[in-house]
Amino acid sequence: MRSIAGIAILFVALLHVWGWSTLSLPQGPGPAGSLDARVRQFLENRRGTWHSLNVPTSDGQALYNIIVDHKYTKALEIGTSTGHSGIWIAWALSKTGGRLITVEIDRSRHEQALANFREAGLTDYIDARLGDAHEIVPSLPGPFDFVFCDADKDWYTNYLKAVLPKLSAGGCFAAHNVSERGWGGYGREFLEYARSLSYLETTFVRGGSGMSVTCRKAGR
């Protein structure tokens, strides 16, 4: 039987082959279909303009599919930037009945993200918080079944340690800009810590900017 993380990454790998145009989403009438059209149009209008530490479109698609495929509902994002990844995550959560807490320390990026969330029609699915993730993340009660980390790289290990007690069995912690070799000392430290815990399994999303996905094994 394939592992939870393995199934997720296989699905994402297929997505990279199929591309944007074949993303499987509801197309029927009603509120869900209307939201899909609004988010699609927003992302299409902004294609190629996401800077300020945002993820590329391929990684946004990967986040969307992992969440929808596993029906995750309780998501945390560490590092909002101006909201590109948050839009993909919240869009996915609109399918599962979930909600996202996202944390950003920079006020100007936070405010731009709020405007982007409103324009995309996703504010009902997002609790955007301004502040220091070093303080906010440990204080959050959880539980979470999906965490996306794209903040200060030298703190990734600490973020994982803070989140693990609140990560549901079968839940995943995705870390951006991480490859199988890490990225310098901080990346290696993060991966070594994740791999040292027998109840975790780490795999990698191919393509994009590099992303590891560390999942808590069922029943652990």
pLDDT digits (tens, 9 = 90+) for 162-216: 999 999 999 999 999 887 776 666 678 899 999 999 999 999 987 777 899 999 9
Instruction: Indicate the helix (H) or strand (E) that contains 216.
Output: strand 211-216
Condensed to tens digits (0 to 9), the pLDDT of residues 119-171 reads 999 999 999 999 999 999 999 999 999 999 999 999 999 999 999 999 999 99
Examine the pLDDT at 12 and tell me if it is beyond 60. Answer: no
pLDDT for 52 equals 63
> Could you give the strand order of the β-sheet that contains 144-149, starting from the edge strand earlier in sequence?
126-130, 99-104, 74-78, 144-149, 167-176, 211-216, 200-205
- List the one residue out of 165, 191, 196, 195 whose CA is nearest residue 179: 191
Condensed to tens digits (0 to 9), the pLDDT of residues 33-72 reads 699 999 999 999 888 777 767 888 989 999 999 999 999 9
- φ, ψ for residue 172 (rounded to 5)? -130, 150
* CA distances in angstroms from 39 to 84, 86, 122, 147, listed in the order given: 11, 12, 8, 22
- How many domains does the chain contain in total? 1
Q: Which residue has the tokens 């509801």?
A: 26
pLDDT for 184 equals 62
For 178, half-sphere exposure in the C-beta direction (CA atoms, 13 angstrom radius) is 29
* Domain span holding position 126: 4-216
Amino acid at 174: A
The CATH number of residue 42's host domain is 3.40.50.150
Report how far residue 120's alpha carbon sits from residue 116's, in angstroms, rounded to the nearest whole number: 6
Query: How many of the other CB atoms lie within 10 Å of CB of 118?
Result: 12
